[in-house]
Amino acid sequence: MDLRYEIRSADLTRISKKFDKLDQKIKDRIEKAINITALNIQADAQTNTPVVTNRLRSSIHIETAQKQGHIYSDNKGKSFDGKLKLSLPKYAAAVGTNVEYAMSVEHNNRSKGFHFMLNASKMEQPKFNKRIEKILKDVV
């Protein structure tokens, strides 16, 4: 089972129908905002992931339409394929893991959950919104 949270922006949804008509510079700025957001979520989630073998932390990665798949290792050198098996459009990114026990660590009942993925995405949401708002203000 994959573990992932999505960040959606009302502004992006609203302009998606007109996206093909946007200037390439604007598209590049939006793509950069998406990538910065994904990198920040990945970094925060990895920082706050509890570590026993390092497998879960190492498995958290970014996938885009252009970059899919992720090979990683635990602290014993065993390699794993972390592909999320998603079909993503060009202007999207996914941060996640396919480690089978990730959900139980995220929602651990004994400790009320670590929520390493949820907290990372919640922290980044307002920053992402501001990045997109700035781009949209520059367009208008």
Q: Which residues contact 86 (CB under 8 A, 6 or more apart)?
A: 63, 68, 94
Cα three-residue angle 16-140-138, rounded to 5 degrees: 95
pLDDT band at residue 1 using 50, 70 and 90 as cut-offs: very low
More confident of the two residues 131 and 24: 131
- Mean pLDDT to the nearest integer, 40-44: 97
Q: Given pLDDT bands bounded at 50, 70 and 90, which one contains residue 136?
A: confident
Tell me the per-residue pLDDT of 2-36, one tens digit each, with 9 for 90 and over: 555 555 555 555 555 566 667 888 889 999 999 99
Instruction: Count Cβ atoms below 10 Å from residue 1 Cβ, excluding itself.
Output: 10
How do residues 81-103 score in pLDDT, each as one tens digit?
999 988 888 889 999 999 999 99
Model pLDDT, residue 87: 86
> Which DSSP category does 49 fall into?
S
Count CA atoms closer than 13 A to 72's CA, side-chain side: 19
- Residue whose pair of structure tokens reads 């390699």 in the numeric block: 79
